[in-house]
Amino acid sequence: MVINLDRQSGRWHRVKRELKRFRTGDGAPFTSIVRRIPAIDARDGRAVAASVDVDPNYRIGDQLYVQPDTRLSACFDVDEPVRMTRQETAVARSHIEVWKAIATGPHKHVLVLEDDVWFRRGAAASINRGAAGRVDALSW
């Protein structure tokens, strides 16, 4: 799944070109199994309004729990309030939409990419290691 804004069609074309370099285990182009997921656009005020899926308010301690950072913890109390920007809220909602698609979909393994991804040599092997036991391995 590739997260892509509707207004960023150039990125969608570029990422498809990048993904054409890969093949599935049966030799088909990787693009044959790629699904585009429209991103939530931060420019659309209705799309980034508070919802049951995303609460834009959290505490810095919540951030430090998932991403420890000694610089932040040295400067801020764990109860310091934070409010996500419109862009952060849109990104969070976009990712939640992907999670929903995965949870309701038929696939055991799903690779989620942003539309600005670039692969280094050896990426296929790394992806395959992350999907151990997957029937359709990637090649490059």
Cβ contact 114:3 at 8 Å = yes
What is residue 21's predicted lDDT score, i.e. its pLDDT? 83
Cβ contact 84:92 at 8 Å = yes
What is residue 140's predicted lDDT score, i.e. its pLDDT? 44
User: 4-8 long-range CB contacts below 8 Å, 24 or more apart?
Assistant: 4/36, 4/37, 4/38, 4/39, 4/115, 5/38, 5/39, 5/41, 5/115, 6/38, 6/39, 6/41, 7/41, 8/39, 8/115
Give SS3 for 15. helix
Report the half-sphere exposure of 93 (CA within 13 A, side-chain side). Answer: 26
pLDDT tens across the length of the chain (140 residues):
999 999 999 999 999 988 888 888 788 888 999 999 999 898 887 766 657 788 889 999 999 999 999 999 999 999 999 998 889 889 989 999 999 999 999 988 888 999 988 877 777 777 777 655 444 444 44
What is residue 102's predicted lDDT score, i.e. its pLDDT? 94
What is residue 133's predicted lDDT score, i.e. its pLDDT? 47
pTM of the complete model? 0.75
